Amino acid sequence: KAGVTQTPRYLIKTRGQQVTLSCSPISGHRSVSWYQQTPGQGLQFLFEYFSETQRNKGNFPGRFSGRQFSNSRSEMNVSTLELGDSALYLCASKGVSSYNSPLHFGNGTRLTVT
Amino acid sequence: AQSVTQLDSQVPVFEEAPVELRCNYSSSVSVYLFWYVQYPNQGLQLLLKYLSGSTLVKGINGFEAEFNKSQTSFHLRKPSVHISDTAEYFCAVSGRGGADGLTFGKGTHLIIQP
The 3-state secondary structure of B34-63, one letter per residue: EEEEECCCCCEEEEEEECCCCCEEECHHHC
Contact: A99, B100; criterion CB under 8 Å: no
Among B87, B96, B109, smallest CA distance to B39 is for B87
Nearest CB to B42; choose among A35, A43, A107: A107
Q: Is the pLDDT of residue B35 over 70?
A: yes
Q: Where are the alpha helices (DSSP H) in chain A?
A: none
> What whole-number distance in Å separates Cα of residue B41 and Cα of residue A79?
25
B63 burial (CB, 10 Å; 0-12 / 13-18 / 19+) is buried
Specify whether the backbone of B16 is left (phi greater than 0), alpha (psi in -120 to 50) or beta: left
Taken in order A109, A111, B3, B7, the sign of the CA dihedral is positive
When CB atoms are compared, the residue of A4, A42, A48 closest to B106 is A42
Question: What pLDDT is attached to residue A101?
Answer: 77
B43 pLDDT exceeds 80?
A: yes
Q: Which of A100, A56, A44, A34 is nearest to B48 (CA)?
A: A100
Answer for the pair B23, B91: CB distance below 8 angstroms, yes or no.
yes
Confidence of residue B102 (pLDDT cuts 50, 70, 90): confident
Average pLDDT over residues A26-51: 93
CA distances from A7 to A21, A47, B7, B99 (A): 6, 18, 34, 27
Q: Does A60 touch chain B (CB under 8 A)?
A: no
User: Mind listing the pLDDT tens digit for each residue in B46-90?
Assistant: 999 998 888 999 999 999 999 999 999 999 999 999 999 999 999
Task: For residue A86, give how far its alpha carbon lies from the nearest alpha carbon of chain B (Å).
Answer: 16
Average pLDDT, chain B: 92
Whether the predicted pLDDT of A99 surpasses 80: no
Report d(CA B33, CA B47) in Å as an integer.
Answer: 11
- Residue A29 in contact with residue A74, Cβ under 8 Å? no
Instruction: For residues A43 and B69, give the distance between their C-alpha atoms in angstroms, rounded to a whole number.
Output: 24
B32 vs A contacts (CB less than 8 Å)? 99-100
Long-range residue pairs from A62-69, CB within 8 A, at least 24 positions apart, any chain: A66/A34, A68/A32
Q: Tell how strand B44-50 and strand B31-38 pair up.
A: antiparallel
| Least confident piece of the model among A53-62, B2-11, B39-48, B88-97 | B88-97
| A4: Cβ contacts below 8 Å, ≥ 6 apart | A23, A24, A25, A26, A91, A92, A93, A104, A105, A106, B43
Nearest residue of chain A to residue B108 (CA atoms): A42
**CA pair distance A36, A47, nearest whole angstrom:** 10
Worst-scoring range by mean pLDDT, A37-46, A82-91, B25-34?
B25-34
